[in-house]
Amino acid sequence: MKGESGIMIFAPIKSKIKVEEPLYDSDHHPVLNEDGTQAKEQVEREFKSFRPCYVFDVSQTEGEPLPSLANQLNDSVEDYEHIKEALLSISPVPISFEDIAGNANGYYSPDAGKIVVQKDMGQLQTIKTMLHEISHATYGHGSKDDKTDKETKEVQAESTAFWVAGMLGLDTSDYSFGYIAGWSKDKEVSELKDNLELIKKTADKITSDIDSYMKEVFKHEQKSTDIDSDVEVYFTVAECSEFHSMAGYTEKIESAEEAKGIFESIPKEMYSYIPAIGIQLIDKKTGEEITQCDVINRGVANYDMLQYYSEIIENPKAMKMLGKLAELFPDIEVVGEAPALDIAEPCLAVRKKPDKFFKKIVMG
């Protein structure tokens, strides 16, 4: 309406600049120049920032009712699971996904030390909400020493979420612009400007944490790929675990089911030799054995032994195969833990019925 004064807010803006970045090939290996230095390429990147601008409150306008300022984000997100896992990892407090009463998409509880996000939202809305609540936790909003007013807290959290999302290549402006406008309408320009450096610093920290996590994941996946491409993994069954050459020994067994079948078919007169099921790594190029470790014998799955076999622990396929083997012996006693044995997690607790298992093997 004529005569109304605009409201100063802190509005997100986008800008594109050209930067030089290290060049990698399709396999993520560095591309080198003739002098051995890493080649670089010039790329255009989009960056997010903020500037003061004027808007009008809905009460200052005429015409048809306006739609909601903050629109729900329903877009899908490339690498959604990786980004979600990264946020779960770098969050200062645990995050859970639950049904939340009312209209809130999420909340941070400093007293309970947790973040709750509304479950079953769209991928982009979920990531944006996680970033918003992680920002609250990172700022320390709601702590005993927190003197920040509610409006500033929300502007800080949403501005940071928008900034970090932008660095991840995600556009949350349909939600963030309206949300920030709504919470900053009563703020003075000086107050908004004072927040800019803090928002940038916090956004940079969260972005850096995410980047560090993703780099570690990439290194692990790359290492796993390299390991898997050079090594074949098999089971072994030995009639005598102490000295394999003293009795029957079967190697290069491809499945846990087959290994179990061979193990349980060992003649009863051989039980005093303590039969065992093991895991074996073979070099694909040479066909030679890299290492071998007996895991199941005496009615016990002894994962403590694996601490001396780094090649096995660091091989994802080997660990998954051991997990499958553990699933086939649910009543077995388990000793120790094996890193990355996720599939076998239910079997890592020490069982109280090893005698039942051993009797089954001995008595047939």
CA distance 10 to 136: 18
Asked whether the beta carbons of 93 and 114 are under 8 A apart, the reply is: yes
Read off the DSSP letter of residue 305.
Answer: G
Residue 296 has phi, psi (to 5 degrees) of -110, 120
**Coil, strand or helix: which one is 185?**
coil
What tokens appear for 93 in the block? 């407090």
* pLDDT score at 37: 87
3-state secondary structure of 25: coil
Q: What is the pLDDT of residue 347?
A: 33
Task: Provide the β-strand partners of residue 16.
Answer: 46
pTM exceeding the 0.85 threshold for the entire prediction: no
For 225, phi then psi, to 5°, come to -65, -45
Alpha helices (H) along 185-255: 189-230
Q: How far apart are CA 158 and CA 175, in angstroms?
A: 9
pLDDT of residue 13: 65
pLDDT at 65: 43
**Is the distance from CB of 336 to CB of 278 less than 8 angstroms?**
no
Give the chain's residues under pLDDT 50: 1, 58, 60-67, 338-364
Q: In this structure, which amino acid lies at residue 305?
A: M
For residue 262, what pLDDT is reported?
A: 93
pLDDT of residue 11: 61
Residue 222 half-sphere exposure toward CB, CA atoms < 13 A = 10
Angle ∠(318,321,325) on CA atoms, nearest 5:
135
C-alpha 66/C-alpha 331 separation (Å) is 64
| Res 80: pLDDT | 93
* 301-336 per-position pLDDT tens digit: 888 888 888 888 888 888 888 888 888 888 888 887
